[in-house]
Amino acid sequence: NEIVKEVNENQNAGWTAAFNDRFANSTVAEFKRLLGVKPTPKNEFLGVPVVSHDISLKLPKEFDARTAWSQCSSIGRILESLSDRFCIKYNMNISLSVNDLLACCGFLCGQGCNGGYPISAWRYFKHHGVVTEENEIVKEVNENPNAGWIAAFNDRFANSTDGYFKIKRGTNECGIEHGVVAGLPSDRNVFNGINTSDDVLVSSF
């Protein structure tokens, strides 16, 4: 009650707080189990290429990946973000297998269904590939430097309004801006394999 009241009375909060029936009776420990991303150890960044952009690059006043690439159905989340990068670059609307990642990368990527390290998942994609499964990152950057990030919920938050939430930008809220890692699609080892039932796209890069 106090948190909702405090946020809604703050005219500069930038969002409106409300109660969520699903988590109303949850303890902090129960809620933490739903937060699957683990902080990346600093030594894991050694040797990882850093992508930089020209500081003079002009950003659009408004950009929403869901609208810009509406044909790509899963903008957000770790595995689906790779699916979307293939969709954006090659116009390949594919869905990659979560089970393949969990079963084959397993505890090398973290703690299975209990969360893991994004950088380990991207390394797995790069070195091993992943088989298919048969789903507004920036806004108001120029006009409002305190604008929030729009991020996608984990599947375990499936009862959210539209699958997205807004989080404060520019202050590393909940560690969301520290150690951001990602991968870029490559067609070097992309091929179609045929089995007795249907086509399976195996991606390795």
59-203 topology per CATH: Cathepsin B; Chain A (3.90.70)
And the tokens for 85?
């990068």
Give the model confidence (pLDDT) of 110-157 as tens digits.
665 566 778 888 888 888 887 776 533 333 444 565 567 777 765 555
The C-alpha R_g of the chain, in whole angstroms, comes to 19
80 compared with 146, residue with greater pLDDT: 80
Please, which pLDDT band fits residue 74 given cuts at 50, 70 and 90? very low
pTM value is 0.43
- Can you tell me the distance from the alpha carbon of 182 to that of 204, in angstroms, rounded to the nearest whole number? 15
Residue 52 has pLDDT above 60, yes or no: yes
Ranges of each domain in the chain = 59-203
